[in-house]
Structure 1
Amino acid sequence: MSRTALPRRRRLAPAGRALAPLCLSLMLAWPLAGHAGVALLQPPRVIDGNQPLTLTLIVSADDTTRRYRIPDTLEVTASGDLQAPVRLVLWREVPGPAVVNLRRGEHRAIHYTAALPPALRGQVRLDATGIDAAPVLVTLNRLPQPDKSATPAAPLAAAPAAAASQAKVAAGTAEAAPVPVTPVTTAGAAAPAPADLRDSARLSFHDPMYFIVGAHDGANAKFQLSFKYRIFEGEVPASKSLFDNLYFGYTQFSLWDWNKESKPFRDTNYRPSLFYYLSDTGVRNNAISRLSLATGLEHESNGRAGDDSRSINTVFVKPTFYFGDQNDWHWRVAPKLYAYVEKGENPDIAHYRGFMDLGIAYGRPDSWAFSATLRKGTRKWYGSVDAQLTYPMARLIPGTAGYLMAGYFVGYGESLLDYNRKLPWQFRIGYALSR
């Protein structure tokens, strides 16, 4: 059945109520949630970005579940191209009963609405938190509409009870995590939607991509390109088999010395890899909100000959632990443990680099984020600190993407050429596509 875009439904307008029968006919085209009978309706492909966003949930009764708890809010993660994800809280448009009882085969449509942040532009992906519904793609048109009033719609007035509920959520004392539609007869344990939605694409970012410049004692420009590609797309999206989750990764890193004549590249490192990767292993508890896992083979070299040649081959395992709400302020800890398979051109590299890169980050998807990679060699105090501070560009200049970035490096081995040499510290600022 094809999914045709519906005209935008106005709040409390008779035409909006007329959408319900059509919603019921379209709902079968969308996958139901983990709790059978819950679906998110696709809005029109192009919507007016100057007006509040309206989303519709459809609940239906089956043989086992006929009672549903309908909360006041629906939480959605909105992600634009190369923009930090934004958490939206949509409020129930028309007050209604907290629990609905449906006869078998009966359906009910519930509408939620919220104002769109001005930083969101172009195509936006909407993922509802807590229900296993397909993500929604819409394109925002922010041009003034000649046939519509120039006066923006007034925000919905929240009932006192709803305001109190929102205050509880803000204070972290809400009775339960926001689960959009939960069958009363089933214990809902829905997982939060990850704030980083890049892993859903077959070709996606890998390590951070950036270009930053400093001015301290040479090698003052630094940039990195990095991506990963899922080699085989399996029939089952949630498959954890090796072949279905095999990735090719490639990272290229360069130090550029702008102080010398002709501005040469001091060193360029090439890092292809082949690895197994699960964006979400499903491991969760009171502390861990998400656990990712990568393990495989990696080659790193600088492509030079003679005394300046550097090359290593490693096997690695990298779990990534997320602590806290990924749509809000949270921690990320990613220890990358590796063993050297071959290091003939630099046999003492472990003295300076050790056997682990410890990545630590704290931040929020649509705000500041601090991250650092720490290394400790096996000898003396050899090691390094590579730290970054980033902030979404769209919050500074609406319509842009990526991040404003500041970086600081001190220690040994900023590149392979200098793995056993401590260069002067560097502070750099610039732009990042990903962080």
Structure 2
Amino acid sequence: MTRSVSRSAARSAAYAALAMLLALAPLAADAAVALLQPPRIIDGTRPMTVTLLVTGDAQTRRFTVPATLQVTASADLLAPIRVEARRAGHGPAVLRLADGETRTIRYTADWPVTLRGQVRLDVAGIDAAPVLVTLNRAPAEATAAAGEPSNRAGTAADTTAGATAGTTAGTTAGTQGGATAGAAAEAAGAAPTALASGPANGAPAPADLRDGQRLSFNEPMYFLVGAHNGANAKFQLSFKYRIFEGEDPTSRGVLNNLYFGYTQFSLWDLHGDSRPFRDTNYRPSLYYYLSDTGVRIGNVSRLSLATGFEHESNGRSGDESRSINTLFLKPTFYFGDQTDWHWRVAPKVYAYVGKSDNEDIPHYRGYMDLNIAYGKPDSWEFSATLRKGTRKGYGSIDAYLSYPLAHLVPGTAGYLMAGYFWGWGESLLDYNQKSPWQFRIGYALSR
């Protein structure tokens, strides 16, 4: 009898404890976080201002407000720049929001001096839509005289929006695509949720920004001049075009990620009579390309993939005709934070499916181009492409060192570039000849 009563009491205690846990358990809910759109034209002589909008859902929530935000600022033909924005004014370290309540949090930083024109701002760690602004760096008096709006920062600290503003802000958050940042309920002593602001997670990568356009750079575009064995120049044009834009931007289907690429490379003899072109190579391609496969292995922070068909020829006839067709596979591995100093390794493996004008080209070029690079988007970058022929001693090194020109001449774009070549086959015409080493210097539109 006593044992039965004990069991009954134990069951009752267990049920009571379970009921208490269920009562204290947080309801599943999220809080929307959005990046508010500032004025269309920004006074570039004043600090950058980034404003987050946080909206509470369901019951009261607690949020840990980060002291700083990592913001990536990028402009046309300029490398993205990582900026640390600090929270403006004074406000609570933890926000407590009721269902539907909104709060704005403002951050400021100095504009990088190299930025000009239209600028895109992305905040790392939150899945909010980026904003576009146009910088006006004219003196404030001239801006006011012209009647242009400015982004004069208010002095108020974090403020709670009223009911009407909350509705408008909520609509703005939905329009801006503000995503969820996991919120913890204020029950059972749950720790407040921090808005993610890590340096790598969610940070837009430079290549992502470059690949975001339908028409974009493919391989480096440059013009370099050297003087070994006579004045000469080397230049390259290269772009890619996304043929079909599907309804789902995250689709990995073949048609939605099919690109046409075109690269044209020329060697120009500047010391000969009439300054003739030594050789010009034309390289159209059709290939499948994913800027980010989503694969993360070990220290790999991003993996891109390209595979398809490529033709390369020099457009000549007779004994000087050169032509090859290849099927290629090119994964690109990124190691480290892509907005800071990082490595890039891109082996391009190919199989020849046509080389009638130059059957022995694998002896000198081999079956792979290995590109290795180390650098920072808004600073120096060193890159080199290595080739090794199937026969001993044949191969080449094509190396480049580049630096953003805007750091030297504000208002410009592109890169100051130096290049070095050694080995066989700098162009298709001379695939089986060892070229004199060349050091050249010039300008690059992309690298």
- Please classify the TM superposition score into its range, dividing by the shorter chain length: 0.7 to 0.9
Residues 401, 308 of structure 1: alpha-carbon distance in 2 compared, 3 angstrom cutoff? same
Quick check: which one's helix share is greater?
2
Question: Whole-Å Cα distance in 1 between the matches of residues 414 and 181 of structure 2?
Answer: 36
Equivalent residues of 1:70, 1:182 under 8 A apart: no
CA RMSD, Structure 1 to Structure 2 (Å): 2.2
Equivalent in the alignment of 2:91: 96
- Runs (5+) with no aligned partner, structure 1: 1-34, 157-179
Are 1:86 and 2:98 an aligned pair? no
Residues 65, 203 of structure 1: alpha-carbon distance in 2 compared, 3 angstrom cutoff? farther
Equivalent in the alignment of 1:192: 203
| 1:96 CA drift (Å) | 2.5
2:237 to 225, 235, 239: 225
Q: Give the aligned residue type for 1:105.
A: G
User: What secondary structure does 2:316 align onto?
Assistant: coil
Question: Whole-Å Cα distance in 2 between the matches of residues 410 and 382 of structure 1?
Answer: 11
| 1:97 CA drift (Å) | 2.7
1:252-271 paired onto structure 2 within 5 Å: 252-271=264-283
Residues 345, 77 of structure 1: alpha-carbon distance in 2 compared, 3 angstrom cutoff? same
Question: Whole-Å Cα distance in 1 between the matches of residues 220 and 102 of structure 2?
Answer: 46
What's the TM-score once normalised by structure 1's chain length? 0.82
2:102 to 99, 104, 107: 107
Residues 54, 223 of structure 1: alpha-carbon distance in 2 compared, 3 angstrom cutoff? same
Q: Give the aligned residue type for 2:296.
A: R
Equivalent in the alignment of 1:50: 45
Question: Whole-Å Cα distance in 1 between the matches of residues 300 and 333 of structure 2?
Answer: 7
Residues 54, 313 of structure 1: alpha-carbon distance in 2 compared, 3 angstrom cutoff? same
Equivalent in the alignment of 2:365: 353
User: What secondary structure does 2:440 align onto?
Assistant: strand
Equivalent residues of 1:223, 1:255 under 8 A apart: yes
Question: Whole-Å Cα distance in 2 between the matches of residues 120 and 147 of structure 1?
Answer: 19
Equivalent in the alignment of 2:182: 183
Question: Whole-Å Cα distance in 2 between the matches of residues 64 and 344 of structure 1?
Answer: 73
Question: Whole-Å Cα distance in 2 between the matches of residues 359 and 219 of structure 1?
Answer: 27
Question: Whole-Å Cα distance in 2 between the matches of residues 147 and 391 of structure 1?
Answer: 33
Q: Deviations over 1:151-208 (max 9, x none)?
A: xx99x9xxxxxxxxxxxxxxxxxxxxxxx99434479694321023110000000000
Are 1:282 and 2:300 an aligned pair? no
User: What secondary structure does 2:429 align onto?
Assistant: helix
Equivalent in the alignment of 2:16: none
- Runs (5+) with no aligned partner, structure 2: 1-29, 145-151, 156-178, 185-192
Q: How many pairs were matched up? A: 374
Q: Deviations over 1:219-268 (max 9, x none)?
A: 72000000000001111111111111110000000000112100100000
Equivalent in the alignment of 1:140: 135
| 1:63 CA drift (Å) | 4.1
Question: Whole-Å Cα distance in 2 between the matches of residues 285 and 193 of structure 1?
Answer: 19
| 1:286 CA drift (Å) | 4.5
Q: Deviations over 1:63-89 (max 9, x none)?
A: 499332210111111111111211111
| 1:36 CA drift (Å) | 5.2
What's the TM-score once normalised by structure 2's chain length? 0.80
Are 1:211 and 2:227 an aligned pair? no
Q: Which moved more, 1:283-292 or 1:337-346?
A: 283-292
User: What secondary structure does 2:50 align onto?
Assistant: strand
1:324-403 paired onto structure 2 within 5 Å: 324-403=336-415
Equivalent in the alignment of 2:72: 77
Equivalent residues of 1:247, 1:277 under 8 A apart: yes
Question: Whole-Å Cα distance in 2 between the matches of residues 182 and 134 of structure 1?
Answer: 14
Question: Whole-Å Cα distance in 2 between the matches of residues 36 and 357 of structure 1?
Answer: 48
Equivalent in the alignment of 1:427: 439
Question: Whole-Å Cα distance in 2 between the matches of residues 332 and 346 of structure 1?
Answer: 32
Q: Give the aligned residue type for 1:192.
A: A
Question: Whole-Å Cα distance in 2 between the matches of residues 65 and 412 of structure 1?
Answer: 69
User: What secondary structure does 2:331 align onto?
Assistant: strand
Equivalent in the alignment of 1:38: 33
